[in-house]
Amino acid sequence: MKRFSIVGAGRVGTALGFALTRKGWELAAIVDREAAAARESRKIIGRGRGTTDLGHAGRGVQVLFICVPDDAIGAVAKKLAGAGSGWSGRLVFHTSGLVAASALDPLRAQGASVASLHPVQAFPGKKGGARLFSGIYWGLEGDGAAVKAGRGIVKTLGGRSFILLEKDKPLYHAACSLASTAFISLEGAAAALLEEAGIPRNSATAILLPLVQGTLQNVKKLGLKNALTGPLVRGDVRTVRRHLEVLRSRPLHLEIYKSLGRQALGFISGGRVPAGKVRALRRLLEGR
């Protein structure tokens, strides 16, 4: 049984603590600067100690997870290094998709093996439980020993792992943000157009949901290119022109439509749509 602690009683830290304890790991402490947050997470996990004392994080544990906002990781590492716990031979992970493992250098200098361990998953609340980790991918970057151990942790949680280079992390994290945050923003923009068409916001979201779910299922079954549907795939220049006309008075929606339309053209070129229609669509979407 591995004994571990978590610094950061947010959504990721709480879900991770819950999932690992259900796999037989022993939680020593979950630490947060907000006492109420630490108590709440400890209650959800049902194990360990909830505390604001950072000194408890390093006591008698083999593994430490730092699950705090990106900008706080370096400061937490410095405080932990100065707490006098002794880090030789221990594993320390942070869960940021952007920040490099080198943010943990103060602990590395004291003998810890460090890595970033980022779950490619959305965590809408603290109570997601172990199911959020099943089948997902994790990005790993850092020291060899920590990366190897991280792969084992991911496997324990039922996930899959891949290795990142430090220089590639910003690009990787931007991709994750586009797939998640930007996706929500896109659906919000679509719902806003339905509202303008006289459909209440709650109904607009409900109307779009089956379409979105069906599209995601098609992506899973067919891949990105083959899942694409709509007027671009049909080469329907007249429909696209009409869309652009109605969106002209809505600059933000027009920019979104044109940018994503140009991206989609890369999927339909090469024979799916006659070359002449692809050129006409590109001229429209580039504003020529």
Domain boundaries of the chain, sorted by first residue: 3-166, 179-285
Query: Running DSSP on this structure, what letter comes out for residue 30?
Result: E
CA distance 30 to 235: 56
| Local confidence pLDDT in tens for the 288 residues of the chain | 699 999 999 999 999 999 999 999 999 999 999 999 999 999 999 999 999 999 999 989 999 999 999 999 999 999 999 987 789 999 999 999 999 999 999 999 999 999 999 999 999 999 877 889 999 999 999 999 999 999 999 999 999 999 999 999 999 999 999 999 999 999 999 999 999 999 998 899 999 999 999 999 999 999 998 999 999 999 999 999 999 999 999 999 999 999 999 999 988 866 778 889 999 999 999 986
Residue 256, Cβ density class (10 Å: 0-12 exposed, 13-18 middle, ≥19 buried): middle
What 3-state DSSP class applies to 188? helix
CA distance 139 to 151: 10
* CA atoms within 13 Å, Cβ hemisphere of 159: 25
Hey, what CATH topology would domain 179-285 get?
Answer: N-(1-d-carboxylethyl)-l-norvaline Dehydrogenase; domain 2 (1.10.1040)
Quote the pTM value: 0.92
For residue 188, report the phi and psi dihedrals to the nearest 5 degrees: -65, -40
CA distance 106 to 11: 25
- CATH class of the domain defined by 3-166: alpha beta
